Structure 1
Amino acid sequence: MAHKQMELNELIHTVSSECESLKYEKETLENFNDTWQAFKNYSKNKQELFYKEQIAAQFLKELFDYPERYPNSRIARAMIRAMRVLGDYHLFGRLLTHNGKLQPFMSEDFRQAVLNFTDHCKKRNNADETIQRRIRVIHKFIEHLTGSGVSTCNDITSQHISSFATSLVGYSKKTSDQHLESLRVFFRSLYFTGQRKDDLSKAVPILYYPKQDRIPSVWSPDNVERLLSVIDRGNPKGKRDYALILLVTQLGLRTSDALNLKLESINWAESRIEFVQQKTGIAINLPIVEDLGLAIIDYLKYERPESIEPYLFLKHIQPFDRMKNGHYLIMQYLVKAGIPLETAKHHGLHSLRHTLASRLLEQEVPLEIISGILGHTTIESTKPYLHIDIENLRKCALISREVAENE
């Protein structure tokens, strides 16, 4: 719920309390409150008692010439972050994560459009993670529009859409498709809520790619062992990362499912992990082999931060909420292990899932069983692994005959 009529004093107090409850660091809270006090004085001089995005934008424009110039000063960046936190809470009624990217301030018309878009997604029963991903895309699109001098939804043209689509060149097919689908949903929400009289979703292009067999990326046994061996299990982050990477390597979970696992997902009495897949809605029940169980216990018993969050894997910086990205986690250990980054191959957490499937295929485990372990809805989803050369199969990683036998 957005706080449209909340006075600035009340908004600042509410957001400050929310940050405290999420255990933001003391220095961060002090920086936030100093910035908000300065903004409150600025708004008072403008004779404005309520939060307004336009006033917030003017405030930062006069201080740092933002967003035309992106400041390098640590203090300036901290103040911009403080204002974005305030704006997020005003707009969405909660704090958002922006993966380090400072979101642009937007016009009142765009602000209302994002509110309507959020409600539209909720009515479609989109998952929270999907809504947040789509909001990030719409923020990016609005930033693109602002750079073109567009400040209202009625000023958006098909040329603006084409220009934005062109900017996606270099993204993967999946990412580009997600961006464009988010735009379609956005324009439908504008049409259904009456912010536009026409449905611009039909102007969003469909990208076509040459049809070809998709060959999954896999890891060699040596590289998997090297990756695991360089993780420092003597510190909190290392214990968490080791358990998470081992989990994906041995059980082949999708990254989203691994990061969404809850403490209650682990059935210690039967040594199994039980959860419902985010992508398919299918319930999965997989065994926990001994080394994986010990790694999870080591993390939970000694290093998992104290938190009311129900998720198994948490960030190790405040606020201690759920991990949301596994790509950069793998990248740092690849560099540390001296494993070459082959540009033609994927090297995120998801590629370790591919590796398990390939290993099971090498062991002549039937596709029906592999499909069940990976949580595929059909065997067709598993068939791309048949395209991997048998000699490469013999080099693929780890473990899990035991996984198949337990199915």
Structure 2
Amino acid sequence: MHLPSHFQLRTADPANVLASFLCSYNEYFEVARYRSKQRRYLASVVHFGQWLRAEGYAATSISEAVIVRFLSCHLPRCDCQRPVPLGLIENRAALNHLVRLLRTQGIVARPTGDEITRELAHFDTKMTEVWGLSEGTRDHRIRIIRRLLKAQFGSRSIEISLITPTAIRRFVLGDVDWSPSTVRVMGGAVRCYFRYRELLGDDIAHLLQAVPRPAYWRDTILPVGLSPDELEQLFGAFDAACRSHRRGYAIVRCLADLGLRSSEVAKLTLDDIDWQAGTVTIAAGKARRADVLPLPTATGAAIVDYLMHERPKTMCRAVFVRHVAPLGEPVGRRVVQKALHAAYRRLGWDRTRVHILRHTLASRLINAGTPMKQIADVLRHRSIVTSATYTRVDASRLSTVALPWPGDVA
């Protein structure tokens, strides 16, 4: 049901439990610029406030359980004065925004989290302090370990001694269609967690031995990059008809010209760019150190074009910001990835990898005769051995430059 444009929301009803918060809720949407859904979300909150009063709840009593009761028990049988929004997804989204606002105002307490959440918070701290892992790696491992702990303990207290080697092998190996790469990632996360538990004094040697280690012949797979022609086609995929084409083009230039990772592009700020010196500072990430790189002219021009002609007005210092609500907030790495994936689709390519642009940059530097130490510096590899993987070639490539065998008949 759509709210008629002439319908007057009962926002001035003093009996509504949420009456005193409707103004700040409306301002919250003005700031975040959710204008397309602002009126309907406000109607959902008014409806929720009426239901709270009928059920005897105060604003301070709002919780996830109360919202679930409203959505699952009241909405399907709602006989309130029409029109009111009855869509489940729409109402949940509106009330999630409400809870977020009430928590910032101290009206609703923030959840303390269950034991697994607290355990993972301590684990995350150790991954930062002891191993210095990047945010992306930590988040990925936390998601894996959350699944492990949920499967082993559910809502019960965590007792590592109750985990069996068989359970660990079954969890890491997962489904029969999992690739060796997936198993390696799962095993790496589990081993990291057990090392954390070992630091706490747990005897987990038998569990560490149980974690499968699939064979990995790294040198059998050569890094694959884009050819010069393919790279130009990729840059050309961001024409004026493409949505947010200036942002997408600038993002891809950062990926291809600077060899940045998705998370590094998302974290780039206006303060990181020194326009006079022609450099860009890459904040500490996977390599655990900040680096200063030269800013190529084409990359800088693409960023300037985006900043001047497409970037929304915002106080945010991030270079790349959202173009939809919440407008002007920093983008996440998924926005960076989607910009490249959309370009692949427009070109009719079946590629999905973002990391291929780092491989492309490395191959370009190798072919240009750049010293290996400089390549390692540009890619921000801590070890030159990591960069050396791009110097390998395969037989098919060698055959294209092979000289005729002496005495061979033409």
- TM-score, normalised on structure 2? 0.68
SS of 2:32 mapped into structure 1: coil
**1:221 counterpart (209, 212, 228):** 228
Q: Tell me the equivalent position of 1:238.
A: 245
Q: Tell me the equivalent position of 1:301.
A: 308
Q: Tell me the equivalent position of 1:20.
A: 29
Deviation at 1:199, TM superposition (A): 9.4
Q: Tell me the equivalent position of 2:69.
A: 58
**1:76 counterpart (88, 91, 94):** 88
**1:328 counterpart (332, 338, 349):** 338
Deviation at 1:305, TM superposition (A): 1.0
Query: Structure 2 vs 1, CA of residues 201 and 243 (structure 1 numbering), >3 Å: closer, same or farther?
Result: farther
Structure 1: 5+ residue runs without aligned partners? 1-7, 66-72, 95-107, 193-197, 342-346, 396-407
**1:278 counterpart (253, 274, 285):** 285
Asked if the contact 1:110–1:151 (Cα under 8 Å) also holds between the matched residues in 2, the reply is no
Residue 209 in structure 1 maps to residue 214 in structure 2:
yes
Superposed CA deviations along residues 129-159 of structure 1, whole A, max 9, x for unmatched, are 67766676677779x76xx994454699748
Query: Structure 2 vs 1, CA of residues 30 and 171 (structure 1 numbering), >3 Å: closer, same or farther?
Result: farther
Q: Which amino acid aligns with 1:377?
A: R
SS of 1:285 mapped into structure 2: strand
Deviation at 1:47, TM superposition (A): 4.0
**1:249 counterpart (244, 249, 256):** 256
Query: Structure 2 vs 1, CA of residues 41 and 278 (structure 1 numbering), >3 Å: closer, same or farther?
Result: same
Q: Tell me the equivalent position of 1:114.
A: 117
**1:38 counterpart (37, 47, 50):** 47
Q: Which amino acid aligns with 1:330?
A: L
Query: Structure 2 vs 1, CA of residues 80 and 219 (structure 1 numbering), >3 Å: closer, same or farther?
Result: same
Higher mean C-alpha deviation, range 131-140 or range 349-358:
131-140
Q: Tell me the equivalent position of 2:359.
A: 354
Asked if the contact 1:121–1:131 (Cα under 8 Å) also holds between the matched residues in 2, the reply is yes
Distance in structure 1 (CA, Å) of the matches to 2:398 and 2:384? 19
Distance in structure 2 (CA, Å) of the matches to 1:42 and 1:327? 42
Superposed CA deviations along residues 10-31 of structure 1, whole A, max 9, x for unmatched, are 9966983784375141243334
Q: Which amino acid aligns with 1:381?
A: T
Distance in structure 1 (CA, Å) of the matches to 2:245 and 2:187? 34
Asked if the contact 1:313–1:323 (Cα under 8 Å) also holds between the matched residues in 2, the reply is yes
SS of 1:273 mapped into structure 2: strand
Superposed CA deviations along residues 19-57 of structure 1, whole A, max 9, x for unmatched, are 437514124333433333433444441546412222223
Q: Tell me the equivalent position of 2:321.
A: 314
Distance in structure 1 (CA, Å) of the matches to 2:379 and 2:41? 44
**2:391 counterpart (386, 391, 403):** 386
Q: Tell me the equivalent position of 1:263.
A: 270
Distance in structure 2 (CA, Å) of the matches to 1:188 and 1:9? 45
Structure 2: 5+ residue runs without aligned partners? 1-16, 77-84, 106-110, 401-410
Distance in structure 1 (CA, Å) of the matches to 2:342 and 2:324? 17
How many aligned positions are there?
A: 354
Query: Structure 2 vs 1, CA of residues 120 and 305 (structure 1 numbering), >3 Å: closer, same or farther?
Result: same
SS of 1:232 mapped into structure 2: coil
Deviation at 1:349, TM superposition (A): 2.7
SS of 1:252 mapped into structure 2: coil
SS of 1:78 mapped into structure 2: helix
Q: Tell me the equivalent position of 2:80.
A: none
Q: Tell me the equivalent position of 1:5.
A: none
Asked if the contact 1:137–1:179 (Cα under 8 Å) also holds between the matched residues in 2, the reply is no
Superposed CA deviations along residues 187-215 of structure 1, whole A, max 9, x for unmatched, are 979x98xxxxx999996974522121153
Superposed CA deviations along residues 202-239 of structure 1, whole A, max 9, x for unmatched, are 96974522121153231122221111112124677101
Q: Which amino acid aligns with 1:223?
A: E
Matches within 5 A, 1:385-404: 385-389=390-394
SS of 2:216 mapped into structure 1: coil
Asked if the contact 2:22–2:42 (Cα under 8 Å) also holds between the matched residues in 1, the reply is no
Distance in structure 1 (CA, Å) of the matches to 2:193 and 2:27? 31
> What is the root-mean-square deviation in Å for CA atoms of aligned residues?
4.7
Distance in structure 2 (CA, Å) of the matches to 1:141 and 1:131? 15
Q: Which amino acid aligns with 1:75?
A: G
Higher mean C-alpha deviation, range 282-291 or range 301-310:
282-291
Deviation at 1:115, TM superposition (A): 5.6
Q: Tell me the equivalent position of 1:68.
A: none
Deviation at 1:355, TM superposition (A): 0.7
Asked if the contact 2:250–2:302 (Cα under 8 Å) also holds between the matched residues in 1, the reply is yes
Superposed CA deviations along residues 168-196 of structure 1, whole A, max 9, x for unmatched, are 9647847973797389769979x98xxxx
Deviation at 1:276, TM superposition (A): 2.6
Query: Structure 2 vs 1, CA of residues 265 and 26 (structure 1 numbering), >3 Å: closer, same or farther?
Result: same
SS of 1:286 mapped into structure 2: strand
Asked if the contact 1:309–1:322 (Cα under 8 Å) also holds between the matched residues in 2, the reply is yes
Q: Tell me the equivalent position of 1:339.
A: 349
